[in-house]
Structures are given as structure tokens and as C-alpha cells.
Amino acid sequence: MPVLSVNDGEIFYEESGEGYPVLLFAPGFLGSRIERWRTNPSRPGVDQDWRDPIPVFTPHFRVISFDVRNAGSSRASIGPDYSWSSYTADHLALLKHLGITRCHVMGGCIGVSFALALEQAAPGTVSAQILQNPIGLSDTNRAAVDGEVAHWESTVAGRSDVDPALLKAAGERMFATDFIFSVTREYAATSTVPTLLMPGDDTMHPVSVSADIARLTKAEVLAPWKGPKYRDAAIERARDFLLEHTPEVSS
């Protein structure tokens, strides 16, 4: 797996296929990493509710997947300003490193938060987006969100280079807001990026948050999409949606 050096760490990534680029933001909360498209460590041997997009997209696109900072094989320092912008800077650095100025994106779970933050930071970067199972804050899931933050902190806290106080402050800072945490509803309402939404329907992926995204972005909503009965057709629609919105290359 190639590695990209960033100012305060390194990001591991993979590429497959050729053609118009698609950047994938994996599920898994702040443990977002490539393998989470395929498997869930809490359910070993059990298929995910969705199809891994990498083998489906690779025959049609240049597919870039990666482990976010401090997940999987990627590492970075945690300083006093660690926030969503720290992640977005990595994502922009990766695109620059690969010579990509515009791309499609697909994000699962927290990947939705990463995807929308990318376009906010660099308008025009995202040509089309697939938002699958968005995380977010509802009226009833604050404790569940805080539990996920605490779990992430526990996976990083044992490192000798991590200050526990800065780590705790980073988690609190990133998830102190509402909606999908990385951007506001007001920003989402300004988005003109063609959007395919696969809505969430559980505690960490609230129905209310997906409903807001659908309304604000005027997304095409694909439902149902989870589970053995629907996941093949869902990933095929996702592939076709990106193909439909792939810019024509001038000769």
C-alpha cells in the first residue's frame, strides 16, 4: 500500500482501475479504513449490509481508497487544533499528490461527513457524490455518539506520542455540534453537487439526519438499499449514478 507523508504523519492509500477518479471515504466512525468496506470487526465472518464498492467501480473508474489519519495503517499527531479540518487537509493533500483536481466521491457512515467537508473546503472539487448511511446527531443518540468517540480515544490513547488531554479535547471539539458534525445544514443547503443518498435508519445513522440531507441537497434517494435482498442492486445504481455524472473529456 502506498503512503503519503503529510505535515504531521502519514496516510496509507490504495488505487485501482483507470479513468475518471472516485475517492472513497470508508465507514467505521473515526476508525474509517479501507477494510471497513468489506468487513466489520465486531461481526467477524458476517457480510456487510452493503457491497464493497471497490471491485464494482474499478472496471469503470480510477478508485482511490485510504485509511484516515489515526485509523488502520495511517498515523498523525494530535495537537491542540485537531479537528475536521485536519482530516480535510489530508484528503486534499492526497488528491494533489495524485494529480487530481476534480473527482466523484462516495462516503459511508462518517465518510458522508468527510465528503461534505471536502467540497466545503474546496468548492468544485466534487463532481458527484454518493452519501451512504450518514452519521449525525438526533434527539436521542447523544450518548451513543459520545460512546463512539470514547471508543476511538481508547484505540489511540496508548500511543506514547499522544497527550490524553489533547486527545479528549479533539473528540469533544469534533462532535460538539449537530447535524453530521463536519458541516452545517446551512452549508448543505447551498450544495449543487449531484447527490445519491442511501439513507440511514438506526441510532448512529438517524432517519432524521438523512431526511435533512435529502431535503437540503435535493438528493436522489435510494431506498431500501441494505442487506442481501437489496445490496447488489444498490451498488449497481451507485455505479450508474457516477457514470451518468462523469464529465466528458474534451478531445
What is the domain-level CATH number for residue 201? 3.40.50.1820
Determine, yes or no, domain membership for 184.
yes
- The cell for 170 is 479533539
pTM comes to 0.96
Write out the three cell numbers for 45: 465472518
Is 132 inside any structural domain? yes
Among candidate residues 63, 13, 58, the one with its CA nearest the CA of residue 34: 13
The pLDDT of residue 104 is 98
Amino acid at position 91, single letter: H
Assess contact for 32 and 98: CB atoms under 8 A: no
* CB 43, CB 36: distance < 8 Å: no
Q: What is the pLDDT of residue 251?
A: 35
Residue 251 lies in a domain: no
pLDDT of residue 249: 66
Amino acid (1-letter code) at residue 194: P
Pick out the chain residues at pLDDT < 50: 250-251
Is 250 inside a domain boundary? no
Residue ranges making up the domain that contains 99 = 3-244
With respect to residue 239, please indicate whether it lies within any of the assigned structural domains: yes
- Number of domains making up the chain: 1
- Does any domain span residue 249? no
